[in-house]
Amino acid sequence: MAIILFKNRTVRPLTGNFAVSEAMRQINPDVVAAYPITPQTEIMQIFSSFVSNGYVDSELITAESEHSALSACVGAAVSGARAMTATAGPGLALMWEILGIASGMRAPMVLQLVNRALSAPINIHCDHSDAMGARDQGWIQVFAEDAQEAYDHLIQSVKVAEKVYLPVMSCMDGFIVSHAIDRVSLLADEEVREFVGEYKYPYSMLSKTVTHGAIAMTDSYFEFKHQQRLAMDEVKKAVEEVSKEYKELLESQGNLKDWEIEKRVLKFVEPYKIEDAEIVLVAMGSAAGTIKYVIDKLREEGKKVGLLKIKIFRPFPYEEVSKYLENAKILGILDRAETFGGKGGPLLSEIITALYLKGIHKPIRNFIYGLGGRDFNINHVKEVINTLERTLKGENTPFLSYINLRKDYLDTLQK
């Protein structure tokens, strides 16, 4: 039995990667299979030391590629084992074939994605191209703003996955979150173990004779895909149940403030100062934190600015989104991924769909930012808000713009 490290709750200075490793240690999964890739490598390095020291009972499989690592997780999951893996950018790209197999076989598991740009040019830093490339593969996708959320999302994801028999991709921004030390509040080991409980899978290969991965041709494939759509419809209820339980756990010792608890509980969206906001930004991941800071400053100047942070991208919360965006005068959608040739980023498409479904039509601008880890700081948030203000005043502004392109590059476009 795994050694208990934290008998009590504790606050620690941890990088995102370390926080996620601690969550994995406390979850104590049966099987972990992975292949190293920056900026994820550290998670598996830390976790493998937990394995060596007997802090977990997990079987660690060091696969020869990400494709194999995820395949091992699928096999483990349908054998009735709680399986986990972690990867980043190109590693997720190599897993692509197995992503659909995991969700198609309804194998619940959790993948920690440390968001990284896709090549070429080769780049190790953050953007959301990896996750967005996999958005239609039948996985639940959760995005964290900081190390604390990454820790809490991972623990809750385990239960959500096992309720609906779907795999979950829990995402955090590479380097910005994964490699920065932040203040992370951890639960006690026993609390997490009790919360995640025992994994019970009805078709375990180890407990009875079953066929997994059977062929399904024109006569039946279609129905199984329909089942996956129905399963995604169940996610809302599952998230509500799991987050309610997690909230009760967080509240149980009375040592956490209300805002801390609200932040740590898994939700589809997090509105920030949105009630009376005329200008509303929509964003995912670490950028949301920077935007909140700017909103606080601008609110002091009397500007009515708000944010809608999307925490769960798949299944996309269309109803909640349209409800929160209904009253804004203008929207700024921030995408950390491209769709080259599409009208804008992937988040833009979803927001427009959400609005259309409610018959809402209002000014909207799309901003592509932070590809390959390009900094997105206070000034850039202000630039976005300024563009939206000018648009509201009737000025002609582009529908889509890239934020923080280099000046020397822009100069070449003038020629």
Partner 1 sequence: MWELGAVIPYPGNSEEYKTGNWRTFKPVLHTDKCINCMICFMVCPDSCIIVENGKMIGFDYDHCKGCGLCAYECPKDAIEMIKERG
Partner 2 sequence: MIEIRWHGRGGQGAVTASKILSSAVIAEGSYSQSNPDYGAERSGAPLKTYNRVSKKPLTLHCMVTNPNIVIVIDPTLLDEVDILEGTDENAILIINTSMTPKEIREKYNIQGRKIYTLNATNIALEEIKRPATNIPMLGALVRVLYELEGIPKLETVEQEVIDTFGQKLSKEILEGNLRALKRGYSEIISE
Residues at the contact surface with partner 1, assessed by CB under 8 A = 78, 104-107, 165, 202-203, 208-214, 216, 220, 223-224, 227
| Of 212 and 303, CB closest to partner 1 | 212
| 333: amino acid identity, one letter | I
Asked whether position 335 contacts partner 2 by CB under 8 A, the answer is: no
CA angle 348, 350, 354 (to 5 degrees): 115
Give the C-alpha distances (Å, rounded to integers) separating 175 from 17, 41, 124, 146, 316.
Answer: 9, 12, 9, 11, 26
Q: Which of partner 2, partner 1, none does residue 71 bind to, with CB < 5 to 8 Å depending on kind?
A: none
Give every CB contact of residue 209 below 8 A, 6+ residues apart in sequence.
none
| Of 35 and 376, CB closest to partner 2 | 376
Residues 189-208 that bind partner 2 (CB under 8 A): none
In a 13 Å sphere around the CA of 79, the CA atoms on its Cβ side amount to 11
Asked whether position 146 contacts partner 2 by CB under 8 A, the answer is: yes
Q: At what angle do helices 221-251 and 189-196 cross, to 10 degrees?
A: 140
Q: Quick one: which of 180, 311, 186 has its CA closest to 243?
A: 311
- Using the contact rule CB under 8 A, the part of the chain among 85-93, 104-112, 226-234, 284-292 near partner 2 is 284-292
Q: Which of partner 2, partner 1, none does residue 8 bind to, with CB < 5 to 8 Å depending on kind?
A: none
Which pair of structure tokens corresponds to residue 44?
């598996």
- Using the contact rule CB under 8 A, the part of the chain among 52-60, 168-176, 199-207, 313-321 near partner 2 is 168-176
Asked whether position 22 contacts partner 2 by CB under 8 A, the answer is: no
**Smallest gap from residue 185 Cβ to partner 2 (A):** 10
Collapse the DSSP code of 183 into the 3-class scheme (helix H, G, I; strand E, B; otherwise coil) and give the result: strand
Q: Which of partner 2, partner 1, none does residue 3 bind to, with CB < 5 to 8 Å depending on kind?
A: none
Q: Which of partner 2, partner 1, none does residue 377 bind to, with CB < 5 to 8 Å depending on kind?
A: partner 2
Count Cβ atoms below 10 Å from residue 269 Cβ, excluding itself: 18
| Of 15 and 322, CB closest to partner 2 | 15
**Smallest gap from residue 183 Cβ to partner 2 (A):** 5
Asked whether position 179 contacts partner 2 by CB under 8 A, the answer is: yes
Residue 280 is inside which H or E element, if any?
strand 279-283
Q: Quick one: which of 351, 335, 380, 362 has its CA closest to 278?
A: 362
Q: How far apart, in whole angstroms, are the C-alpha atoms of residue 128 and residue 408?
A: 25
Asked whether position 11 contacts partner 2 by CB under 8 A, the answer is: yes
Q: How far apart, in whole angstroms, are the C-alpha atoms of residue 163 and residue 157?
A: 10
| Of 232 and 351, CB closest to partner 1 | 232
Q: How far apart, in whole angstroms, are the C-alpha atoms of residue 199 and residue 269?
A: 28
| Of 13 and 213, CB closest to partner 2 | 13
Answer yes or no: are the C-beta atoms of 168 and 139 closer than 8 Å: yes
| Of 1 and 215, CB closest to partner 1 | 215
Backbone angles phi, psi at 390, to 5 degrees: -65, -35
**Smallest gap from residue 317 Cβ to partner 1 (A):** 24
Asked whether position 180 contacts partner 2 by CB under 8 A, the answer is: yes
**Smallest gap from residue 204 Cβ to partner 1 (A):** 10
Count of residues engaged in binding partner 2, rule: CB under 8 A: 28
Q: How far apart, in whole angstroms, are the C-alpha atoms of residue 79 and residue 225?
A: 22
Which pair of structure tokens corresponds to residue 148?
């604390």
Interface with partner 2 (CB under 8 A): 11-13, 124-125, 145-146, 173, 175-177, 179-183, 286-287, 289-290, 292-293, 375-380
